[in-house]
Amino acid sequence: MAEPAQGGLKPSQGGRRRWRPQWTARMALIPAMTITIVCFYGFIIWTFVISLTRSRLLPVYKFTGFDQYFRLFANERWWTAMQNLAIHGVLFIGGCMLFGYLLAILIDRGIKAEGLFRTVFMLPLSMSFIVTGVIWQWVMNPGLGLQEAVRALGWASFEFNWIVRPDRSIYTLAIAGIWQQVGLCMALFLAGLRNIDPNIWKATRVDGIPVWRVYLHVITPMLRTVFFTVFILMSAIVMKAFDLVVALTGGGPGFSSDLPARFVVDHILNRQELGLGAAGAFVLLCTVIAVISPYIHFELRKERGGRGH
């Protein structure tokens, strides 16, 4: 049936006499449109094209098919980086969500000085990954940092030298990463908790259900879209993770804490392996798309649903 006024300000059709604001609106979109088309999608295609060539220091357009991808998948450092991405991803995302949710629940229990706690937990968010990396590098310094401080307290055999151990360095990334991002997860979960109808709480109190059971069986299932969003956001952060590795471990010792994002930048900027770096970048993009596409789908569906009535 005739849905009134749904369309908003639509351009009139037919004879055109004077300059129409709709045309100005179109022109105002030109800069953003250019950036989107050229700098986002055009450049993705360009990178893909480079990945099909044997470019090293400079782009040369001699195509070698998927050679660079074969080289990439035969590259041990790449696989270390990918493996690290998986380990770091699980620890970082899992840790952020777990601790973020717990903090949000604690804060939501009706505490005093809520603003203070919230400010504290979100404080690291305002600092850069570089700052975070440098601070934690110092804290985890095996000679003068945490290890030494605990030993000085009397626990002589205490060991916390992960940052210099090739088999442990990747875990230090998760520690620093969680420290920085847990506040964001907390804020998102807290917003979700605050959105829950207070009558739900009244109902469970009338029914005499213990608080922890309410969180486990009632509240948590209600927050599944929040969990989904947080998961996606944290994944996006993990896959772009570059600064933190550079500042915290420098990818080391050796390449033991390398990540794909760093691998790509290193090969493009420092190692004159443009083709290989481009191939790595493209694989990285495919990983991102695989994780993000359900989210984009979800957002757009929400958008469409929201405009119904």
Partner 1 sequence: MQYNRLALYGLLGIAALMVLSPVFIMVSTSLKSMDEIRNGSIFTLPADPGFAAWGKAWFGDCAKTLGDKCGGLSSSFLTSVKIVIPALALSVGLGAITGYALAVWKMKGANLMFAALLVGMFIPPQVTLYPLIIMIRELGIFGSIGGLILVHVIWGIAFTTMMFRNFFKTVPQDLLKAARIDGAGFWRLFWHVMLPLSLPILGVAMILQFTYIWNDFLLGLTFGGRSGQPMTVALNNLVGSQFGEKEYNVDMAATMLTALPTLAVYLLSGRLFVRGIAAGAVKG
Partner 2 sequence: MNGVELCNVTKAYAGLTVMENINLEIADGDFLVLLGPSGCGKSTLLNMIAGLEPATGGAIHINGRDVTDLEPDERDIAMVFQSYALYPTMSVRKNIGFGLKMRGMPKDEIEQKVAEVGDLLQIGPLLDRKPSQLSGGQQQRVAIGRALVREPSVFLFDEPLSNLDAKLRADMRIELKRLHERLGRTIVYVTHDQIEAMTLATRVVVLDRGAVQQADTPENVYRRPANRFVASFVGAPTMNFIDGKLMQSGDDIVFDSGAGALPLVDVPVGARDLIGRSLTLGARPEHLLFDPAGIASRVLLAEPTGPDQYVRLAVAGSELTARIGPEQPFKSGTDARILIDGARMSLFEPQNGQAITLG
Q: Which is nearer to partner 2, 15 or 115 (CB)?
A: 15
Number of residues near partner 1 (by CB under 8 A): 100
Q: Which of residues 115-134 bind partner 1 (CB under 8 A)?
A: 115, 117-131, 134
Does 36 help bind partner 1 (rule: CB under 8 A)?
Answer: yes
Q: Is the separation of the CB atoms in 215 and 189 below 8 Å? A: no
Does 144 help bind partner 1 (rule: CB under 8 A)?
Answer: yes
Q: Which is nearer to partner 1, 102 or 222 (CB)?
A: 102
Q: Which is nearer to partner 2, 11 or 42 (CB)?
A: 11
Euclidean distance between CA atoms 125 and 179, whole angstroms: 9
Does 35 help bind partner 1 (rule: CB under 8 A)?
Answer: yes
Interacting partner of 309 out of partner 1, partner 2, none (Cβ under 5 to 8 A depending on kind):
none
Does 184 help bind partner 1 (rule: CB under 8 A)?
Answer: yes
Binding site for partner 2 (CB under 8 A): 1-5, 7, 9-18, 20-21
- Return the structure tokens found at 2: 């005739």
Determine how many CB atoms are found less than 10 A away from the CB of residue 63. Answer: 11
Q: How far is the CB of 267 from partner 2 (least distance, A)?
A: 49
Q: Which stretch binds partner 1 (CB under 8 A): 68-76, 164-172, 198-206, 285-293?
A: 285-293
DSSP string, the chain: ---TT-S-SPPP-S---S--HHHHHHHHTHHHHHIIIIIIIIHHHHHHHHHTB--SSS----B-TTHHHHHHHT-HHHHHHHHHHHHHHHHHHHHHHHHHHHHHHHHHTT-TTHHHHHHHHHGGGGS-HHHHHHHHHHHT-TTTSHHHHHHHTT-TT----GGG-TTTHHHHHHHHHHHHHHHHHHHHHHHHHHTS-HHHHHHHHHHT--HHHIIIIIIHHHTHHHHHHHHHHHHHHHHH--HHHHHHTTT-STTTT--HHHHHHIIIIISS-HHHHHHHHHHHHHHHHHHHHHHHHHHHHHHHHHT--
Q: How far is the CB of 192 from partner 1 (least distance, A)?
A: 10
Among 191, 209, 216, 290, binds partner 1 (CB under 8 A): 191
Among 54, 67, 142, 145, binds partner 1 (CB under 8 A): 145
Interacting partner of 14 out of partner 1, partner 2, none (Cβ under 5 to 8 A depending on kind):
partner 2
Q: Which is nearer to partner 1, 52 or 107 (CB)?
A: 107
Q: How far is the CB of 11 from partner 2 (least distance, A)?
A: 7
Q: Which of residues 224-283 bind partner 1 (CB under 8 A)?
A: 233, 236-237, 239-240, 242-243, 246-247, 250, 261, 264-265, 268-269, 274, 277-278, 281-282
What single letter denotes the amino acid at residue 42? Answer: G
Q: Which of residues 163-182 bind partner 1 (CB under 8 A)?
A: 179, 182
Q: How far is the CB of 17 from partner 2 (least distance, A)?
A: 7
Interacting partner of 15 out of partner 2, partner 1, none (Cβ under 5 to 8 A depending on kind):
partner 2
Q: Which is nearer to partner 1, 167 or 216 (CB)?
A: 216
In our burial notation (b when 16+ CB lie closer than 10 A, e otherwise), range 195-217 reads: eeeeeeeeebeeeeeeeeebbee
Q: How far is the CB of 34 from partner 1 (least distance, A)?
A: 10
